[in-house]
Amino acid sequence: MTQAEAKQAKRKDMPSARHLRVGIYGASGTTGTELTGLLQRHPACRVSFATSRSHAGEDLRSVEPSAPSVTLRNPTDVSLDEIDLAFVCLPHGHAANLVAQCVHAGVPCIDLSGDLRLRDEELHSRVYGSARPAGLAERAVYSITELCDASLDGVDVVSNPGCYPTCVGLALEPLARAGWLEGTVVVNALSGISGAGRPATAATHFIAVHDDVKPYKLGRSHRHTAEMEQSIDRWMPADQPRPTVIFNPHVVPMERGMLATTTVHLPGKSASAVHEQLAVRYRDCPLIEVLPYGQEARIRMVARTPRAVIGVTDVAGSDHVVITSAIDNLLKGAASQAIQNMNRRFGFEDHLGLS
Ligand SMILES: NC(=O)c1ccc[n+]([C@@H]2O[C@H](COP(=O)([O-])OP(=O)(O)OC[C@H]3O[C@@H](n4cnc5c(N)ncnc54)[C@H](OP(=O)(O)O)[C@@H]3O)[C@@H](O)[C@H]2O)c1
């Protein structure tokens, strides 16, 4: 940690120790493994524990050879007393109870699951089909870091966004805030198979995805549609009708990475005005790059990085504009964004530990 960073850490509720002691629940998963690597290298953190039930006692490297060497511990054998901050990388439906335990123990946490992203209880239970502890979602602040205007100072719970809603939200927020969105927003998106987590199923096994592109949960049936619409609703001026999102995800035979191609109806607005709006919005965001006008985003531009890229393309002879956006689903879509949110929560530079 540099002197300036150490000074900054003291300003907020950073513990008096030199390092923030962090615990990663679900470290053997695809996001937990990435996060453990980032936290091991983060100048202000020390990994106190990383958990897995099925690999307890094993080195994380036995699960993923490129991971850092950390002995995984059973979650029943660790204590919240050991840490100043918890990262919860569990499947939805299992994360919220652990988050509630952290809140009860006074340990801040960052939840990477979908359990606390949707504020409305009825909507959450309809979309996720699972209950969550009463009152917990109100304590959580949802944060796509660059777009979050709520303060994270001292919050109990940061709800880390979904990967698709991050990728699409970065493309749409500047237009939503300007009140430009209307009608139907059509998002066609591609994701690498790691978006489905580490355990292989009949649908995600190599032989099921290799040499193919598979559409799934088309239209409005993917859970992330509600999360995107919740964000658009927050961003848009109060007096304007909200657009409907049609979201068509596809799984592609790649390990990681995500690309969204979003078509918006913008009568009276040129593609170059959209490009300008995005470029101005992100000019002070070092991890978000708006590509030169007419250039499309590609997964190779961002894979294995915490960055996002956004491109704007004209649709000749129509009132539509196409925006392409790409992120690494495991990084900006999960682990590196969780680091950005931790940095913001504890008063570090947003991208500390991510360069
Ligand atoms: N993959 C992505 O691109 C991505 C992006 C953004 C957000 N997310 C969200 O992040 C969370 C983790 O995703 P992932 O892809 O890392 O999943 P994953 O690969 O399936 O890993 C889940 C982790 O949680 C542990 N676990 C599973 N069930 C548990 C339970 N009932 N109690 C305690 N631990 C349990 C697993 O290890 P053991 O079973 O050994 O304990 C594993 O370490 C999910 O909620 C997911 O929706 C994922």
Q: What is the pLDDT of residues 104-127, one digit of tens each?
A: 999 999 999 999 999 999 999 999
The predicted pLDDT at position 7 comes to 42
- Separation between Cα atoms, residue 159 and residue 329, nearest integer Å: 16
163 catalytic residue (yes or no): yes
Q: Is the CB of 89 under 6 A from ligand 1?
A: yes
| SS3 sequence of 39-54 | HHHCCCEEEEEEECCC
Handedness of CA 116, 117, 119, 123 (dihedral sign): negative
- Tell me the CB-side half-sphere exposure of residue 248, using CA atoms within 13 A: 10
In terms of domains, do 171 and 295 share one? yes
In terms of domains, do 25 and 147 share one? yes
Q: What is the mean pLDDT of residues 305-325?
A: 97
CATH code for the domain of 225: 3.30.360.10
Give me the DSSP letters along 100-120.
Answer: HHHHHHT--EEE-SSTTT---
Q: Is the CB of 144 under 6 A from ligand 1?
A: no
In terms of domains, do 38 and 78 share one? yes
Residue 174 has pLDDT above 70, yes or no: yes
If one residue of 73, 78, 90, 331 were mutated to test the ligand 1 pocket, choosing by the most ligand atoms within 8 A of its CB, it would be 90
In terms of domains, do 118 and 213 share one? no
Q: Is the CB of 169 under 6 A from ligand 1?
A: no
For the chain, the domain total comes to: 2
If one residue of 72, 77, 89 were mutated to test the ligand 1 pocket, choosing by the most ligand atoms within 8 A of its CB, it would be 89
The predicted pLDDT at position 18 comes to 79
In terms of domains, do 218 and 86 share one? no
| Ligand 1: residue whose CA is nearest its atom 6 | 334
Q: Is residue 247 part of a domain?
A: yes
Q: Would you place residue 355 in the very low, low, confident or very high pLDDT band (cuts 50, 70, 90)?
A: confident
Q: What is the mean pLDDT of residues 25-43?
A: 98
- Three-point CA angle 47, 48, 52, nearest 5°: 90
Q: pLDDT tens across 200-247, in order?
A: 999 999 999 999 999 999 999 999 999 999 999 999 999 999 999 999
Q: pLDDT tens across 113-164, in order?
A: 999 999 999 999 999 998 999 999 999 999 999 999 999 999 999 999 999 9
Query: Coil, strand, or helix at residue 5?
Result: helix
CATH code for the domain of 102: 3.40.50.720
In terms of domains, do 39 and 180 share one? no
In terms of domains, do 339 and 321 share one? no
In terms of domains, do 255 and 289 share one? yes
Cβ atoms of residues 27 and 72 within 8 Å: yes
Ligand 1 centre and the CA of 141: distance in Å? Answer: 20
Q: Name the region of 129 (left: φ>0; alpha: ψ -120 to 50; beta: rest).
A: left
- Separation between Cα atoms, residue 295 and residue 302, nearest integer Å: 15
Containing structural domain, residue 10? 3-160+334-346
Ligand 1 centre and the CA of 352: distance in Å? Answer: 25
In terms of domains, do 284 and 297 share one? yes
> How many Å separate Cα 8 from the centre of its chain?
25
Residue 177 tokens read as: 């805030």
Compute the radius of gyration of the chain from its Cα atoms: 20
Residue 194 has pLDDT above 60, yes or no: yes
Q: pLDDT tens across 68-105, in order?
A: 999 999 999 999 999 999 999 999 999 999 999 999 99
Beta strands 85-88 and 140-142, pairing class? unpaired
In terms of domains, do 21 and 132 share one? yes
In terms of domains, do 69 and 23 share one? yes
Q: Is residue 352 part of a domain?
A: no
